[in-house]
Structure 1
């Protein structure tokens, strides 16, 4: 009965108490395995997708323990996980960051149940499956409210969860420096089941961003706190987490990470502004510097456009500081706001940096997201610029507007104020298509290529225009025509070398009857010197087969008229048609293929957007590489410190070991010496002591059996000698006895000697209490010399002083032992005694001086005839 009640109680508790969501998948990428689910096989990542255009497939950032999704156009890469079955309630949590700022719409497939690399529309999709796991389509959740903006380089926390009972699906997205609030997306009644998951934020058809992910978790229920998940953080690796034994392994990972970054950087474009000699860009007027940010903008720039759709991005190109050799960024605004207006004058805030300073972009493009709609004008409001000499200003090189596939035309630029100083600074230079970046080509280093541009030199009599005909073989939709200036073969700096001063472009279409029908001449104008920049002409998506370029007013170089062109680029929406064209030029056409070989200055030409995005990624990767290299140096320093500490520790332990061995040897030697002394003392006592006793007994027996006075005299003398020998033997035994090697024992021995050598009626003793005298060890030689010196002093007083009183005083005043022997006897002349004993140096006072010298003691003798004698010995113990 009790068992049944217990089981019923358990069932009731299980029914009442909530069941905590179980973690079924966790990826923190810190173990070096990209596909490893640390919880188990459920939801194991099983696929990494990347096409041929990918700069690098999804890989591991070993420095921070994150999964890296490479950026760039035409890059399709993601991670896909398949679970054990459809989950009707679930929670998915992960952290991500990108190398740029972007709007909500480029978030392609936070979560998805399909592997279609090009979803039909942009947005956030959730899997829609029936309860049997059969895919029945995708469900789009509402768009991001207010086009939510996420800052680049900052960790963001994303959570998707669905509650089974209500079918409510919620998506949270919170920056690391914010507090978790309400879900940014919420939908009810979504009939979805989580059967598999696709992780990747850069899966759009045309726009993809470099993204890193960390701390991915999947739970089998929605009963999990979003705040708790947010509090965990991205769980990336930090240098302080490493022990000494982990540093070398991490340095190897960092070497691989740095190698990967350098390899990725080698595939990105570089900028070369060596030929930028004029048209630096726009420079604002100078205003007095302010301590606070004003409520109204100090400068305003407005650009107009007629972009009917697909306004994707705005690029602000920083100006260069031409006063310095390395030409860093110059004058980029710190506090600003960017507002766009579409064709209906609806306003959208593209960026708002009024509350904090914008990070220094150096010379790399600063990119801001568009609206993916039409564009009429853009207003840049600057509230704070750079400060120099108490004056405030800002500067920009160029403004570019991206229309998904191309850089769109900026019709006009108006500035509220400008520092006009042609040919260097002018507001008109903001949309002149000239930057300090050089040509939009792909090369890792200038020395790696040999310039093979098309160059013709003519005599002075050349009059007519230079004509270039291109036959595309069939009608093509041309959206952009790009002219690339050539570089002089001599390698000298000549801006716009051989570039004509005017051009007329005539286009023709092939009719249905195969006839050549002219369309229009869409440019006939004088051209500015492009320097080291391209000139772009929009083809307005016309169908074209034949294109004729009529170049005129050729410049002179070394006394000859020269026509030079690096490349003529023809592009449709997604393709380049130049290499397929048949080229005919005025005169010989043996090397006319150089005009459409896809190379300029020996480097591969690339679309303008790809070039700008590549420069932006170069900035991000260069900073990341700099962090890796700085971290490597820090860890190498820590490793060196640890190694030095370890070396010193080993050295100290070695010295301690040697000291211990030496001390043990000394201790063993002393123990051996002590045992030897004890053995000698025992042998002397047992052998010689017994013999002296036998001699004493024999002389006593002779005295009893003989009445001869001479026998008695000789026996008495022998007995006295035997007694003295026994006393000397006792002293020797006392020396060799290790148990008497203390200062207290020494003082006790001196007192015994006094009582033995001086009659009691004459002796007076004053001594410090033996308890106050330490039991510190003294050496055998010290014991011997002090004992014999004391004996000689006492013997002299007892035998030669004729004193009625002899006083022995022993005082201990750390660390000095003071011994004084004084008598009231007849005394003597100390100087006369020393002179007398100088002839016999082994006797008397000289012997006492030698013993005192060996002890390191101070011996003082005071005496005079008839005045007694005082002998003082002061010895440091």
Structure 2
């Protein structure tokens, strides 16, 4: 009967505790491990004893529902830290800070809480701070920090009167490196282990703390750098937009001025020159045939017609409505046919039907036109050809103009250096970023290829002013290209 009763008690109460044994339990989902210590001895856990902890400290006056802010600073000498442990407890609760960062909090004064600060400390000055709260009656804070260096040196920080009380209203007090003279010293209420608290029954081991490695993109310096770059980009973008707006406005004003000049030349100068031609022809008709004066009037009328043709070309060049690839192709084809009309050379046109209407700036189309005119002039004067093929193609990202005749040809390596035709064409194309190629053999005709890459044109002319101005200057210097007679019906 007694044996049965003993077995029943054993089942209900569990096995008896052996002195010196420990219970392990998780109080907050793995936040800490509690080790119950039998008797009153804490020294069984190693080198730690009550001498490693300071006394219970608080403000000079103890009040219900009172919050105290404790502050202290430690200086760690140069060297490697072997181990750094801190034990703390408070009646009723505490929040522990290191260099402004919260390490942990709890509210059980019967337990000690142990923190491993080894990975968080380094040589230099550190700020240790505690915010403690008392709900009612007795109040106190007790802690001890032990830092052991690899060379054997030992640094201890205890709760004593060296701790300062930080008044309410001080911002970021947990990380202030030097105390204010207005901060009062803490008061030691009782030694650790004294009444009314006695000795703690357990040490809660807080899981090891690791220094938080902040990614560089989350650091303040990175944010400041990004903000600075954004500011620079905003300023540069604003400046570019302003320049672009000014450039657009200047281009608009330039086009208006070009259109006005074209109208004035056509309506005023063109009218007067035409009247001179008509008056000369009337005067010529009234003179007897074969007279010397009649011949002079005839030469005068021919010079006036030549002036009209030159004026037509100038009007075509400056008219902003002609600043397209399609207008350029139309003009070149018409010019070639009129130029070869009174020669034995038949002009065969081979033009791609789908020519873009994209913008073709004045410096580009003028230099390309002058190069085409130079090539036509060379064919008419030197080739002795009967047929000329004029091909205009849109290849890749550029316009290609090819002139190929069936004349007598020549050897490019032995061409006369006194003639500037080939040199002029190469120079005109080079000025605007184009390409010039000539291939010929004696008795096998000649082929001239002029190409204008669109990508290169955009690269050279998109920035305000500089390259356009240089190309215009180069074009003005090379206006000595020979003009060939034709009629005055060119579209303006």
Q: What is the TM-score normalised by the length of structure 1? A: 0.31
Distance 1:667 1:876 in 2: 23
* Cα distance change on mapping 1:615 and 1:698 into 2, 3 Å: farther
* Cα distance change on mapping 1:769 and 1:616 into 2, 3 Å: farther
Distance 1:610 1:54 in 2: 18
Report Cα offsets for 1:513-572 as digits up to 9, x if no partner: xxxxxxxxxxxxxxxxxxxxxxxxxxxxxxxxxxxxxxxxxxxxxxxxxxxxxxxxxxxx
Distance 1:795 1:812 in 2: 24
Distance 1:262 1:604 in 2: 15
Q: Which has the higher contact order (CA 8 A, sep 6+)?
A: 2
1:808: how far off? 1.5
Distance 1:322 1:806 in 2: 97
Out of 148, 160, 171, the residue aligned to residue 443 of structure 1 is: 160
Distance 1:634 1:611 in 2: 48
Out of 261, 279, 283, the residue aligned to residue 131 of structure 2 is: 261
Out of 191, 204, 207, the residue aligned to residue 606 of structure 1 is: 191
Q: Specify every segment of 5 or more residues in structure 2 that has no aligned partner in the other structure, as ranges.
A: 1-58, 70-88, 94-104, 114-127, 164-186, 455-492
Aligned position for 2:448:
871
Where does 1:351-366 land on structure 2 (aligned, <5 Å)?
A: none
Contact 1:268 1:443 in 2 (8 A): no
Where does 1:31-180 land on structure 2 (aligned, <5 Å)?
A: 52-54=61-63, 57=66, 72=91, 99-100=107-108
Distance 2:279 2:63 in 1: 120
Distance 2:323 2:312 in 1: 15
Contact 2:392 2:402 in 1 (8 A): yes
1:829: how far off? 5.5
Distance 1:616 1:775 in 2: 93
User: Tell me, what secondary structure is at the counterpart of 2:416?
Assistant: helix
Report Cα offsets for 1:610-640 as digits up to 9, x if no partner: 69789999999x99xx99x979x99995555
1:751: how far off? 0.9
Report Cα offsets for 1:337-369 as digits up to 9, x if no partner: xxxxxxxxxxxxxxxxxxxxxxxxxxxxxxxxx
Q: Does 1:671 align with 2:248?
A: no
Out of 244, 266, 270, the residue aligned to residue 685 of structure 1 is: 266
* Cα distance change on mapping 1:270 and 1:691 into 2, 3 Å: same
Aligned position for 2:18:
none
1:833: how far off? 4.5
Report Cα offsets for 1:139-171 as digits up to 9, x if no partner: xxxxxxxxxxxx999xxxxxxxxxxxxxxxxxx
Contact 1:72 1:610 in 2 (8 A): no
* Cα distance change on mapping 1:612 and 1:638 into 2, 3 Å: farther
Aligned position for 1:711:
293
User: Tell me, what secondary structure is at the counterpart of 1:100?
Assistant: coil
User: Tell me, what secondary structure is at the counterpart of 1:809?
Assistant: strand
Distance 1:675 1:693 in 2: 26
Distance 2:263 2:144 in 1: 99
* Cα distance change on mapping 1:443 and 1:635 into 2, 3 Å: farther
Q: Specify every segment of 5 or more residues in structure 1 that has no aligned partner in the other structure, as ranges.
A: 1-49, 61-69, 76-96, 103-150, 154-257, 275-320, 329-436, 447-601, 838-842
1:781: how far off? 1.9
Distance 1:750 1:827 in 2: 23
Q: Does 1:701 align with 2:302?
A: no
Aligned position for 2:348:
765
1:646: how far off? 3.0
How many residue pairs get aligned? The number is 322
* Cα distance change on mapping 1:57 and 1:614 into 2, 3 Å: farther
Q: Does 1:822 align with 2:404?
A: yes
Query: Which structure is higher in helix share?
Result: 2
Report Cα offsets for 1:413-456 as digits up to 9, x if no partner: xxxxxxxxxxxxxxxxxxxxxxxx99xx961449xxxxxxxxxx
Q: What is the TM-score normalised by the length of structure 2? A: 0.52
* Cα distance change on mapping 1:827 and 1:54 into 2, 3 Å: same
Runs (4 or more) in structure 1 with deviation over 6 Å come to: 321-324, 611-620, 633-636
Aligned position for 2:334:
752
* Cα distance change on mapping 1:802 and 1:268 into 2, 3 Å: same
RMSD after superposition: 5.0
* Cα distance change on mapping 1:691 and 1:859 into 2, 3 Å: farther
1:823: how far off? 2.6
Q: Does 1:796 align with 2:378?
A: yes
Aligned position for 1:463:
none
Distance 2:257 2:227 in 1: 44
Contact 2:216 2:222 in 1 (8 A): no
1:259: how far off? 6.4
Distance 2:221 2:417 in 1: 73
Distance 1:871 1:658 in 2: 44
* Cα distance change on mapping 1:800 and 1:259 into 2, 3 Å: same
Distance 2:141 2:61 in 1: 16
1:604: how far off? 6.2
Contact 1:72 1:614 in 2 (8 A): no
Aligned position for 2:36:
none
Q: Does 1:778 align with 2:346?
A: no
Query: Which structure is higher in strand share?
Result: 1
Distance 1:614 1:745 in 2: 102
Report Cα offsets for 1:12-67 as digits up to 9, x if no partner: xxxxxxxxxxxxxxxxxxxxxxxxxxxxxxxxxxxxxx99424861699xxxxxxx
Out of 305, 315, 325, the residue aligned to residue 733 of structure 1 is: 315
Where does 1:252-651 land on structure 2 (aligned, <5 Å)?
A: 261=131, 268-271=141-144, 443-445=160-162, 605-606=190-191, 608-609=193-194, 639-651=220-232
